[in-house]
Amino acid sequence: MPRFAANLTFLFRDLPFLERFEAAAEAGFLGVEALFPYDDATPEITRRLKMHGLAMVLINAPPPNWAGGARGFAAVPGGAERFQKDFRRALRYAEALGAQHLHIMAGKAEGLVARATFVDNLRWATAQAPRTSLTIEPINPGDMPGYFLNDFDMAAEILDEVGAPNLGLQFDMYHAHKITGDGLAAWAAHGHRARHVQVGGLPDRHEPLAGEIDYPAFFRQLDAEGYAGWVSGEYNPAGRTADGLGWIG
């Protein structure tokens, strides 16, 4: 079976953030990720990681305030200065936490100028952090209207255009299925680019159990293909998180 991580922004939300690390470890997760952990001091998060034997798998680049905030700046024309400032801050956090991946959010934008902006900012970021694994993630427009990176073929083209060895695909099966109508076919086409996988049930983004994707078969496929990265649960639990963890075996 793959190595499973818990997205602590989504899971165990009945607990304060810093208490979710212990809950994740007790549930059997080996790693965790968080969208924006910037409200807590890195020494305290690091202490929780070490205390519970967890790897920090991934964090998102800012904005730090998700509620009502922007969805990134990397593809927003005229936002290079803001992007670079926020990226440097995110990189400091990622390094302090030992995060294995840093997800760069594109933001809300459209058109060729936005595409060129995204490529330029990704080239800058990969040069600034040559030893850090950076990711980009297509997100479906139903969940995030106006988000620039909403297509897997475009993501592949941009990865090729940037051409940096430290930049790869963050593949969320929930978003892939929503975008393409066939998440498994999207994996067949683009999975070789993936350095991080996220899962959530279809169609309602609950537990990756029964639904439109046969997740046990997908996990077996990852093993057969030699996928060595993490698989993170990024979904909205239908009830208590602990009651819906049959998917991690």
Please give the positions annotated as active site: 137, 234
As to burial, measured by CB atoms within 10 angstroms (0-12 exposed, 13-18 middle, 19+ buried), residue 74 is buried
3-state secondary structure string, the chain? CCEEEEECCCCCCCCCHHHHHHHHHHHCCCEEEECCCCCCCHHHHHHHHHHCCCEEEEEECCCCCCCCCCCECCCCCCCHHHHHHHHHHHHHHHHHHCCCEEECCECECCCHHHHHHHHHHHHHHHHHCCCCEEEECCCCCCCCCCECCCCHHHHHHHHHHHCCCCEEEEEEHHHHHHHHCCHHHHHHHHHHHEEEEEECCCCCCCCCCCCCCCHHHHHHHHHHHCCCCEEEECCCCCCCHHHHCHHHC
Residues 6+ apart with CB under 8 A from 137: 103, 105, 149, 155, 169, 170, 171, 172, 175, 198
Q: How much is the CA Rg of the chain, to the nearest whole Å?
A: 17
